[in-house]
Chains A and B, each alone.
Chain A
Amino acid sequence: VKRPIGVSILVVLLGITVLLCIFICVNILS
């Protein structure tokens, strides 16, 4: 089954969220 376009969009958004979380982590600890 081909990957639905909405799932691809969600994966991109989740990836951006991961980067934001790591950015917040680094900021809290520094």
Chain B
Amino acid sequence: TLSWVIFLTSGIVFILAGLILAAAIGMWIGATWGWWLGTTGYAFSVVLNVAGMMIVTVMNPQAEALSSSYIKNGTRAFIAGLIVLYLFQDNVLAYFRLQNWSKGKLFGVLAGITLGLYAAHFLIVQIVFAALVV
């Protein structure tokens, strides 16, 4: 039966809802952790969607799949990228009390967290698919 997949999916969506709610509250009150949570989320979206386009290009390079993925994932990555760019503006960083950080250092830490998250995501997806196949 697939019931555990249904529970897992809804559990992940529920945890995601909690994280997004936390990011919304943190950003509303101007907490520094709110900036990190929100910016990591959007940066992760950029990485996921760019990786999605690359995976389709390698695994399923048919015109239809390619154009659909490039439009869908490309738009998402572009919008999320613009939001990350906005969150690096001086007035936004000042609001989150991050003006003492250099942007290079902020970006470096953000890239480290995001790529680490992607590695963890990749591993989890592999494990879940392996479990589904078995």
For the complex, give the distance between the alpha carbons of A11 and B13 in Å: 19
Residues of chain A contacted by B91 (CB below 8 angstroms): 1, 4
Interface residues of B, dominant DSSP = helix
Across chains A and B, the number of contacting residue pairs, with CB separation under 8 Å, is 61
A:2-30 near B, CB below 8 Å? 2-4, 6-8, 10-11, 14-15, 17-18, 21-22, 24-25, 28-29
In whole Å, how far is A25's beta carbon from the nearest beta carbon of chain B?
Answer: 5
A4, B24: Cβ atoms closer than 8 Å: no
Interface residues of A (CB under 8 A from B): 1-4, 6-8, 10-11, 14-15, 17-18, 21-22, 24-25, 28-29
